[in-house]
Structure 1
Amino acid sequence: MINAIRLTCILGGLWTLTACQPADQPESSSSPAVLQTTEKQQPVSQTIGFNKAWQFKKSKDDVLPEDIKGDWENVSLPHTPQLEPEVVNDQWQGTAWYQKSFNMPEDWTDKEVLIRFEAAMNSAQIWLNNEKVGEHLGGYLPFTLDLTPFLTPGENLLRVKLDNRDNPVTGPKPLHLLDFNTYGGLYRDVNLLVKDKLMITDEMLAQEVAGGGVFVTYPRVSEDEALVNVKTQIANHYNEAKTFRLTQSLSFNGKTLATETESYQLSAGSDKHFEQTLSVNAPALWSPDSPSLYTLTTTLSREGQVTETQTRKIGIREFAFNDKHELLINGKKTFLRGVNRHQEYPFTGYATSAQADYRDAVKIKSAGFDYVRLSHYPHSQAFMEAADELGLVLLDAVLGWQYYNSDPAFEAHIVQSCEDLIRRDRNYASVIAWECSLNESDMPDAFIATLSDTVHRHFPGAFSAGWEYGYDIFVQARQHRLQHYETPGQPYIVSEYGDWEYYAQNAGLNQDSWQNLKEDERTSRQLLNSGEQRLLQQALNLQEAHNDNFTVPAFADGYWVMFDYNRGYSDDIESSGIMSIYRQPKYSYYFYRSQRDADQLDARYDSGPMVYVASDWQPDSSTQVRVFSNAQEVALYLNDKLVAKQQPDNTPLTAHLAHPPFTFDVGQFEAGTLRAEAIIDNAVVADHSVTTALNATGIRLNIDESGVAPATGVNDKVFVYAQLVDDKGNPVFANNITLSATVEGDIKLLNQSPVVTARGEGALLLEIGDTLKGATVTVSGKNLKPATLTF
């Protein structure tokens, strides 16, 4: 290495810029005029989206690519092999093929061409021009292949064979015994990476320990100063040594704060890691309440030309624990109220979109949560990015659920999954720890030690987490705690709570056995159409369990679960979600929302003062009316007459809650309007009302935009809700009313089951095409005035 030039530029604090001239920084409207260069600005390397113009078909297992016959279906990604019914009682498993033709331009002849699959379920084999170029096992993490030796000038044919049947090496369990569904297909993005032969390596292809690609860490984090260390692996595939310049540039809100440029030389056919450190004065630190993100731009140039540029969002923050095992985020003691998430959508399974994942994150944050356990497998990078932006702390997990295989191939695959998970997600600010653990699976002590050590080797200083002792962080479900609790001597998360302990008497690890089930009306598993009484019982269960979690020294808890979901072992929907599988809120959603303080405000999600009347206010409704609010007082009115103004409930079930509910004794039912007003410092800051509805006569349509509008050209999946209303426009909460839906334009209705109302609302799932021009959806029903929504 020749360290001939070292130009370090530190640009003041967040609001002060000092002149500096980094040689490889391109001029832009957001950069000071002094940041100029004479180098060419169009990078030689490029990333090409490869989601369009695929063909798909199912086939027998033993077919070779050259023997595939018959018609192919034209598809684009993300894609699922089969649209499933609302209740997935026979998920498709088998062999599926994808193929795509593309041309190799002449200017690729001196480049290297890689292909990166973000996920392919579950066992993948890849051919280019009928020559096998690689394979990958595991359906949740990326893999990258080098296509360069197999490309030919002109047209090339790429073929991918996927097998999503049960696999003893990947686990997690045979589908008919599994608590969730795994689905199939190329359900995340595919990209072609065209690179100069002097390149920033792809971290998945490089397979380095604590390296490959770009790896960002923070050796020092304080309110006064932070150090940002950037470790970049460069590979030189030329047959001669190359001198190059590597530049790291850090900006915030469009203002460049620091840059560092160094010149190096790399011998032919070699690769090496280079570390550069940037200093930031008075940094804006990332936290759940203030998720500040910086833009880090990594620029590689040689011979006066920019050859590759990578840009990523990073958050400067520190997760640490004190001697009481309390969590400190940037030195501040923090309790994380959280939830578990399954990523599936109805009908399409895992094949959603980046926009759909963002809407999920907005819903989770709006519900009052600051932490998500990604159960029980790696979720999409789009969700990770949304968590970074919105301020959701994540517990990142490998695939695993009540299954261990002593075969060395199984253990090796889990270790490899742990390594790849860290490679993919190590730069996300939101990740607090790595759950390289098989959830609720009896693992040998030596294997636990190997997994925890894998975390430490591939991310020095990071925390491992697991449900058995031997990890840095112990995660334990409340149902297990109630059976055999010992005060932990290490940082502790309540991994799950609020469902199983109210559903079954046993706390065993064979969940599909369903032993000693409790009465339906007592459980937390209540569909949106279960009725007011059962939805209130669900909310009460969650309140009791969440309150109880504060009696143990946990620094976080995660309710099970955010959204209802399907299960391989059961022909019904697991309904303990605080939202339906269609992302419609139940009463319990508002309980959690009320736990966020009223003074926390963010325009990107529902926040601030809130109040919600948890009643349908019908003749059979409870006259003990429960109201959720984060206010000091609530006043309840019935038909504009004050029922009472009171402070929150004060009972053993509310003793530890941030904001207990308010229970009002209305006396007797009287048709009309219940209106609640939230009061802080003697001022009304929010209100909510519910009215006794008449018979439904019409429909009101709403599109779910949750932070992002429907997007074209990316196979976006969007919910449209059809709410029954009476003549006065009041919501009607009638269940099981069948609705009909039609669409026009470049959109597709994905529902594979009849649209019926739950709590008065039907849900449609639409796939957005390449344009919304002329796109409409119309919903009708018997004796109901139809409604049309125009995009």
Structure 2
Amino acid sequence: MESSRQILNFNQAWRFHRIDDPNEKQDNYHLRQFDDLNWELVNIPHTVRLVPYNGSGGTNFQGLCWYRKHFQLETEWKERKKKLFIEFEGLMQVADVWLNDQFLMTHYGGYLPCLIDITDFVQFDNLIAVRLDNRNQPLVPPGKPQQELDFTYAGGLYRNVHFLVLNRLHITNELETKDSGIFVSFQQVSHESATIEINTNVHNEFAQQTEICHLTHELIDSQGQIVVTISSEPLPIKPNATMTFTLEMNVRNPQLWHPEHPYLYTLLTRVFDDSSNFVLDDLSIQIGIRTIQFQLDGLYINSEKFFSFGINHHQDNLYVGNAVCDSEHYRDVMKLRQAGMTSFRSHYPHARAFMDACDQLGILCIVSTPGWQYFNEDQVFLARCYQNTREMIRLNRNRPSIILWEIALNETSYNEEYARTSYQIAHDEYPLGDKCYASGDARMPYQRTDPIFDVIYFETQFPLPENKRPMWWREFGDAWDLNWTDQVADNRVKREWGEHAMLLQAKRHQQSLSKVMNTSNPSVCGCGLWAGIDCDRGYHPMPFLGGILDKCRLPKFSYYMFKSQTFDPKMVFIANLMTRYSPRDVTVFSNCEAVQLFRDDGEGKGWILVGEQKVVSDGNLPHLPAVFESAYDQCDQRRLKANGLVDEEVVCEHVITSPGVARALVLTVDDCGRYLTADGSDFIRVYATIIDEKQSTVPFNDCSISYTVQGVGTILGDRAGIEANPVRSELGIATALIQTTLVPGKIIVTASAQGLKKATLEFESVQLKQKTVKGRDLFEIL
């Protein structure tokens, strides 16, 4: 059945202009008559200015910029009196919006969507203009000046834009009020049965007629089969009125959602005109059937105790800053989940695509109101904080991955009134009693004596008496050894610094994780490493380097240390590069029962056993690394092999080879199973690896590698003066970002470097499935 609700792509063919001169006149930039053909043509998500590998220290653009889009309506939208909306997923961070010369609104805040009803302002040919300002805004949360901030407000239309076409009678948008949209809750859940309560808010915007309608819900499994269908009684909705339909759905033998098996159902809701049985609106959402409970002895998911190792993560990527495409969000979540991470937290709500991936791949989510080490008692600032809390709950309340609403401003000395008001808002927006959990710091005295929040963040410097509240160790693993200014620390290392630095980081992370697991407080339910992936920040000239993945999403040794704390799949990894500078002691990470280490015989005839070690626990962590002392001598061996054993059988292996003279390049694409979409903004990483004649990576050949592209792709950052192409290799690998155009087809990438055999790789981008809104500049591109 064709959908009556249309959600169209509105990302393509925007005109963009950055204001580099503060004296530039902008009085007519919002007018239709202004000629913008000399402005840059861009696609969304888009950043105001690309940044080099190191975009920290306040070097990101801070100022004003403009976006303009010419678009056309389809004739039937006017003829059938459709309701039309534009939804911006994220505008950084103060946005003024005009449509056809008419000022519509100002939106404050960069981390939550903005929905604009344009029905009464559109014509056949239209011009929407958006002015963005990402300068310091003390009354716009987070509010902290960027030169003092631990992340960046990179700016721009950095998240997706959608165009919605609805009938006059439709399901309301969840951001409008706490009662709007669809709200799914679970009244009873077991492996045998589940009872789902579904509240659906419907608005009749026909000015002069009462509509009698009914709705249906279909629960569809992952194979596309309908599991349950329920229907409401026909009910009248008066003109310009809303009505909430409440129905219960009983599911037999449900597949329950859990981080280890994140099963998702599709809930399809349809609203029918009762007389004609015409579908007035339909909306599909994904849900996971599960229960969560925070108790004084831990977190329970579906009545089973679960302790979560997790990460903190910023929406930040190489060159593009915050303007991350949907496929990249998925890849980030997949890489972190493969490292064994089962929860995520940040300092603001993340993009919809990132949250979708958490639902799909099984990462629990703590959603935070935007804030970091800043509080302002001005009523305007407070009102915006409260509204952010309301909207982040409305936006994400149906997600199975959500376990906590972080309503506190992170690491901030807010007053008790703010804490109590925020707590009340959370429970008002999510009025399900013990199914709603609000979290925050315990650093204020009133929080330690009589905690307000349902779950308190554990901090060793702010101890909380036992048996007060369930707790979460929100940030662990990061420290600076000397002072705040220099921030020298053995957990903050660049991958290119080599194995000694990476082994130090892995050891520090291992010690920190063991300390978390050794806490005597049984109320601690989970923990989050600060942070999962290296990222830029405002207050320091060096990026944060404490991630287990670098900015190119290449793993450091810590990645394998964390992965070895899982139980499946079985893995083994030799943390050694086998160069003349490598440690003689060989460290092996594994989650098997035992590890064998072999070296070759020097003649290529076989393997010689170096030793075998059991993989033991320290009483806190299940799998400590095996360290084989004096096992490596570069002079008499070329290869090492590690076998992982379970029940004395080899279940996995890892072979490494000592690198020789650099001879060639080889290209690989980092797709994580996600295809490349020809939408003009999607991009993917391509790695050029320097290899010797035996195909081994040559880590210390840091040559300059040049990329070229043929076909329907481009090199992101090429000729932008940010050293994106050519690019210097780091530990034997040079990374390029390949971006699509609006035309699907073959993309041929070639990498070359002086003295090395060049490499070529071919892959394809696919047609964008989503329908796009027509417009002047889109016609020009195609």
Q: Give the letter for the 2:457 counterpart.
A: V
Counterpart in the other structure of 2:237: 266
Give the secondary-structure state (helix, strand or coil) at the position aligned to 1:404: coil
Q: State whether residues 109 and 141 of structure 2, in contact with CA within 8 Å, keep that contact through their aligned partners in structure 1.
A: no
* CA distance 1:124–1:635, change in 2 (3 Å): same
Displacement of 1:272 after TM fit? 1.7
Is it true that 1:100 corresponds to 2:66 in the alignment?
Answer: no
Map 1:165-204 onto structure 2 (within 5 A). Answer: 165-172=135-142, 173-204=144-175
1:226-625 to 2 correspondences below 5 Å: 226-238=194-206, 239-252=208-221, 253-262=223-232, 263-302=234-273, 303-322=276-295, 324-373=296-345, 375-461=346-432, 462-468=436-442, 469=447, 470-476=452-458, 480-481=459-460, 487=466, 489-500=468-479, 503-504=480-481, 513-514=484-485, 517=487, 520=488, 523-552=490-519, 553=522, 554-598=524-568, 608-625=569-586
2:671 is matched with 705
The Cα of 1:770 is off from its aligned counterpart by: 2.9
Report if aligned partners of 1:45, 1:196 keep a CA contact under 8 Å in 2: yes
Paired AA for residue 538 in structure 2: G
Report the alpha carbon displacement of residue 610 of structure 1 after superposing the two structures with TM: 0.4
Instruction: Indicate conservation of the 8 Å contact 1:367/1:589, yes or no.
Output: yes
Residue aligning to 1:149: 120
Q: Between Structure 1 and Structure 2, how many residues are aligned?
A: 718
CA 1:472/1:258 → structure 2, altered by over 3 Å: closer, same or farther?
same
| 8 A Cα contact 1:229 1:275, kept in partner | yes
1:655 has 2:619 as partner: yes
Change (3 A) 1:43 1:615: closer
> Does structure 2 retain, via aligned residues, the 8 Å contact 1:499–1:523?
no
d(CA) in 2 for partners of 1:223, 1:592: 31
- Cα 1:416–1:180 change in 2 (3 A) is same
**What is the DSSP-based 3-state SS (H/G/I as helix, E as strand, rest coil) of the residue aligned with 1:418?**
helix
Q: Distance in 1 between matches of 2:380 and 2:284?
A: 37
Aligned residue number for residue 744 of structure 1? 710
Secondary structure of the structure 2 residue equivalent to 1:203? coil
In structure 2, the residue matched to 1:85 is 52
Offset from partner CA, 1:598-631 (integer Å, 9 cap, x none): 3xxxxxxxxx110000011222222221100010
The Cα of 1:597 is off from its aligned counterpart by 0.4
SS of 1:635's partner is: strand
User: Does the 8 A contact of 1:649 with 1:663 survive in 2?
Assistant: no
Per-residue CA shift, 1:79-119, capped at 9, x if unaligned?
11111111114111111111112223332231211111111
Structure 1 residue 774: deviation in Å? 3.7
CA distance in 2, matches of 1:678, 1:567: 40
| Structure 1 residue 69: Cα displacement | 5.8
SS in 1 for 2:476: coil
Quickly say closer, same or farther: Cα 1:714–1:467, change in 2 above 3 A.
farther
Tell me if the contact between 1:472 and 1:490 (Cα under 8 Å) persists in the aligned partners: yes
Cα pair distance change 1:714/1:62, threshold 3 Å: closer
- Comparing 104-113 and 619-628, the one that deviates more: 104-113
What is the CA-CA distance between 1:436 and the residue it aligns to? 1.4
Segment drifting more, 747-756 vs 640-649: 747-756
TM-score after normalising by structure 2: 0.89
SS at match of 2:386: helix
Cα pair 2:397 2:430 within 8 Å, conserved: yes
Aligned counterparts of 2:746 and 2:310: Cα–Cα separation in 1: 41
CA contact 1:362–1:707 (8 Å) conserved in 2: no
Distance 2:263 2:680 in 1: 27
The alpha-carbon deviation at position 543 of structure 1 amounts to: 0.3
Deviation of 1:484 after TM superposition, in Å, equals 5.2
Do 2:585 and 2:632's aligned partners in 1 also have CA atoms closer than 8 Å? Answer: no
Residue 55 of structure 1 aligns with an amino acid whose one-letter code is R
Residue of structure 2 in register with 1:29 after alignment:
none
Deviations 1:439-494 (A, max 9, x none): 11111011011111111110123110112332111123xxx415757546211111
Q: Secondary structure at the match of 1:481?
A: coil
What is the rounded CA distance, in whole Å, between the counterparts of 1:471 and 1:768 in structure 2?
Answer: 46
2:86 to 103, 112, 115: 115
Output one character per residue of 1:133-189: Cα deviation in whole Å (capped at 9) or x when no partner.
Answer: 22211111111111111122x211111111111111123211111111121111111
User: Take 2:631 and 2:14, find their aligned partners in 1: how far apart are those partners?
Assistant: 64
Aligned to 1:730: 696
Among all aligned residue pairs of Structure 1 and Structure 2, give the percentage whose two residues are the same amino acid: 33
Give, in whole Å, the separation in 2 of the partners of 1:69 and 1:773. 33
SS in 1 for 2:335: helix
| 1:778–1:240 distance in 2 versus 1, CA, 3 Å | same
- Indicate the residue corresponding to 2:5 in structure 1: 45
Q: 1:668 to 1:320 in 2, by over 3 A?
A: closer
- Per the TM alignment, residue 301 of structure 1 is displaced from its structure 2 partner at its CA by 1.5
Query: Does 1:223 find its partner at 2:191?
Result: yes
CA shift digits 1:746-769 (9 cap, x unpaired): 212124325112221111112122
Aligned to 1:636: 597
Unaligned 5+ segments in structure 1 are 1-40, 507-512, 599-607
Distance 1:737 1:573 in 2: 23
Letter in 2 for 1:314: I
Unpaired runs of 5+ in structure 2? 601-606, 764-782
Give the partner amino acid of 1:784: L
The TM-score with structure 1 as length reference comes to 0.88
Equivalents in 2 of 1:757, 1:113: separation in Å?
A: 49
Distance in 1 (alpha carbons) for counterparts of 2:462 and 2:392: 32
Change (3 A) 1:61 1:648: farther
Alpha-carbon distance change, 161 to 779 in structure 1, aligned in 2, over 3 angstroms = same
Contact conserved, 1:353 with 1:714, CA < 8 A, in 2?
no
CA distance in 1, matches of 2:239, 2:743: 48
Deviation at 1:306, TM superposition (A): 0.9
Q: Deviation at 1:309?
A: 1.1
Q: Which residue of 2 aligns with 1:9?
A: none
Partner of 2:129: 159
What's the C-alpha RMSD, in Å, of the aligned pairs? 1.7
SS of aligned partner of 1:47: strand
Deviation at 1:300, TM superposition (A): 0.9
Query: Any residues of structure 2 matched to 1:765-784 within 5 Å, and which?
Result: 765-771=737-743, 773-784=745-756
**1:9-88 to 2 correspondence within 5 Å?**
41-59=1-19, 60=24, 63-64=27-28, 65-66=30-31, 71-88=38-55
Answer yes or no: is the 8 Å Cα contact 1:179–1:568 preserved in 2: yes
Maintained 8 Å contact 1:118/1:141: yes
| 1:648 CA drift (Å) | 2.0
Secondary structure of the structure 1 residue equivalent to 2:460: helix
